A and B are shown apart, each in its own frame.
Chain A
Amino acid sequence: MSNNPNTLFDKVWDAHVVRKIEDGPDVFFIDRHFIHEVTSPVAFLGLESRGIDVMFPECTFATADHNTPTINQHLPVEDPLSANQLQALERNSAKYGISHWGLGDPKNGIVHVVGPENGITLPGMTIVCGDSHTSTHGAFGAIAFGIGTSEVEMVLSSQCIMQPKPKKMRINVNGQLGKAVTAKDVTLYIIAQLTTAGATGYFVEYAGDVFENMSMEGRMTVCNMSIEMGARGGMIAPDDTTFNYINGREKAPKGAAWDKALAYWKTLKTDAGASFDKEYNFAAAEIEPMITYGTNPGMGMGISKHIPKATDLAGGVATYEKSLKYMGFEEDQLMLGKKVDYVFIGSCTNGRIEDFRAFASIVKGRKKADHITAWIVPGSHIVEAQIKEEGILDILTEAGFLLRQPGCSACLAMNDDKIPAGKYAVSTSNRNFEGRQGPGSRTLLASPYVAAAAAITGVVTDPRDLLA
């Protein structure tokens, strides 16, 4: 053990290096591997064609989420291609002895929601999944990131991947967040400051009292979006908020094992004087409720602002103009008051109980705007049950909303939840890329408060005007 000050990231990374290859990547051991139906089938085919087995099946967890319908989940899946993928996941999991939470299972839900809520995600772990939003799990002080299918095959067959160690970045946000400013606004603000590629090549640690005072749900929202500024992942040092969240969850350690784990977890923080390759400081007071106006998550701004002019930005003018043309917007326009057609609340970014509480706090006692189509999609069956237990469903129903069943849904529109061409959606998801929510769809990323305000008024609305 070195006495030099060390970062949280280094502590966790270095504890998982099986071998260092000179002028090459590290052979990096993986503690937890999540798989879903879309990015795993070809990896299993690879195992078959090579005639190799799964090395540690107890470290891999399967759940179906990307391709699942969000209504009538008790009926057979209509799309034969989707059904085929779901069956392949079930078949492959059974064949190799991997835990599988398929459609209809009470534990089923979005992979980055069910991992934490069942105590599979723990501090100090290395966690991967064939999904870029695996960075979510960094909220627990884990190193968690998305991988490709070739790497899924590596983890299945050897519990390792070959990974060059990223550089280190720390982002500090301190101060008091304003009214209706959520974790989503904090992350959209950071991404707008750094741009969509501003953290590529880095692993981020989020620090400062804004994150210290944030719930686990909020921390997951922030870490989830790390990839949207190019970072492989982001993490937050575990503390009592983390430990209290984990304690008692189904797969969390219990008894003596808990005490031992807790003693280790308490060492997982960046030492004073440890150095980072890059560091940013932001003031909480600068952050407004945010909304995006363009076709990457870095194209976001405070909801009361005007759309920037191309000449005020660093990137190329042609790409910027292409983006605004796709969105049907112009430079210098105000976003407030723009007509919205769809509202989507859900996804691995904002599909947790706290998000539905925030949404309900605005819609309570009001009515959905007539022309708005709203898709309210919990991140898991456990979240769905909480929505019902807490009376949120009653509030939603009275306001004219329908609660759907869990899944990734309109975040990536692999199932039937597609925003039609040319329509505007205020979405609590993570990507506003062209066609992300359906061919020709136009996405405005925002928090659950902003989504709720749009669902009630039918236009882009500052949620501070509707919050008591």
Chain B
Amino acid sequence: MAYDKFTVLTSTAVPLPIENVDTDQIIPARFLKAIERKGFGDNLFRDWRYNNDNSPKQDFVLNNAIYTGKILVGGTNFGSGSSREHAAWAIYDYGFRCVVSSFFADIFKGNAINVGILPVQVSEAFLDQIFKAIEVDPATVITIDLAAQTIKLEATGASESFAINGYKKHNLMNGFDDIDYLQAMKDDIKTFAATNGI
């Protein structure tokens, strides 16, 4: 599925300073019944965001109009648990293009990149600095430069670099995906399968 190319993102951010945010919180299983990739953003963080009667929970950050932006900042071990790609779809569909945390669960991290969300892993100290900056000023602007692999707090200029492998970086910057790559090497795969008696 095509996604928008990712180069430089300058945006305010939404803070979620909770550890071990699992994909059941990002999107509960009962909202996984669609057979198309549509409308998952409406149910992002459903049970943290809405009461049983569907009224918004006022103390949840997505219901607080002072926090907006295309960057979601989460506590350590973000995206653990279920492999549901619906979690990444919900985050993308809601409007986020980047998730910042000090640690990501493996499967979520892979799914995020595959749908065009950039997971930016920063140090605990820098994550703390981001949370504090947003707490003081919800209009804090953050710039994420994929080519340079840096994340910067615009107000103070504090920045940190982050890791991403060259192949995935190239994909994100150009809007390519793995299926394009794999389709182009089908002959090699067939040869491999034949050699190995598949």
Q: Which residues does A use to contact B, with CB under 8 Å?
A: 15, 18-19, 21-25, 27, 29, 31, 38-39, 41-42, 45-46, 49-50, 52, 55-56, 59, 66-67, 79, 81-82, 84-85, 88, 130-132, 146-151, 153-154, 157-162, 164, 166, 196-197, 200-201, 227, 230, 232, 296, 315-316, 318-319, 322, 412-414, 421, 431, 433-436, 439-440
Contacts and interface: CB of A to CB of B under 8 A. Distances in A.
Contacts of B19: 315-316, 319
B114 A29 contact: no
A7 B113 CA distance: 30
A161 B103 CA distance: 23
A18 B189 contact: yes
Interface stretch (B142-150, B153-161, B173-181): B173-181
Interface string B91-119: 00000000000010111001100110000
26 contacts: A24-B166, A25-B165, A25-B167, A29-B198, A45-B35, A45-B37, A49-B1, A52-B183, A55-B189, A81-B33, A82-B33, A84-B33, A84-B35, A131-B83, A150-B178, A151-B110, A151-B114, A159-B198, A162-B167, A196-B77, A200-B103, A319-B20, A434-B47, A435-B24, A435-B47, A439-B52
Given A23-B167, A82-B33, A431-B81, 4 more contacts: A29-B198, A38-B84, A150-B115, A150-B178
A296 B80 contact: yes
A19 B185 contact: yes
Contact of A316 (B37, B75, B86, B188): B75
A148 B83 contact: yes
Contacts of B105: 197, 200, 230
Contacts of A29: 189, 192-193, 196, 198
A197 B103 contact: yes
B24 A436 contact: yes
Contacts of B66: none
A345 B1 CA distance: 38
Q: Give 3 nearest A-B pairs by CB, closest first.
A: A24-B167, A23-B166, A148-B85
B58 to A, nearest CB: 17
B82 interface: yes
B182 A232 contact: no
A443 to B, nearest CB: 11
B33 A414 contact: yes
Contacts of A55: 186, 189
Given A42-B35, A42-B36, A230-B105, A319 B75 contact: yes
A18 B84 CA distance: 26
A145 B99 CA distance: 24
Contact of A148 (B20, B34, B110): B110
Contacts of B182: 27, 154, 157-158, 160, 162
A56 B168 CA distance: 26
Contact of B22 (A22, A84, A157, A433): A433
B34 to A, nearest CB: 7
B62 interface: no
A45 B20 contact: no
Nearest to B113: A150
B107 A132 contact: yes
B23 to A, nearest CB: 9
Interface string B162-174: 0001111000000
Given A146-B107, A200-B77, A433-B24, A85 B179 contact: no
B33 A85 contact: yes
A132 B110 CA distance: 13
Nearest to B108: A148
A230 B29 contact: no
A148 B115 CA distance: 10
B25 A31 contact: no
Contact of A201 (B80, B106, B165, B167): B106
Contact of B83 (A45, A147, A316): A147
A31 B25 CA distance: 32
Contacts of B84: 38-39, 148
Contacts of B83: 39, 130-132, 146-148
B24 to A, nearest CB: 4
B162 to A, nearest CB: 15
Contacts of B168: 24-25
Nearest to B170: A24
B183 to A, nearest CB: 7
Interface string B104-138: 01110011001100000000000000000000000
Given A27-B182, A230-B77, A433-B25, A296 B20 contact: yes
A197 B110 contact: no
A49 B24 CA distance: 29
Contacts of A52: 179, 183
B59 to A, nearest CB: 12
A157 B114 CA distance: 16
A203 B154 CA distance: 39
Contacts of A148: 83-85, 88, 107, 110-111, 114
Contacts of A158: 179, 182-183, 185-186, 189
B8 interface: no
Given A84-B33, A319-B18, A434 B24 contact: yes
Contact of B165 (A23, A166, A197): A23
A149 to B, nearest CB: 4
B76 interface: yes
Contacts of A434: 24-25, 47
Nearest to A431: B81
A38 B30 CA distance: 11
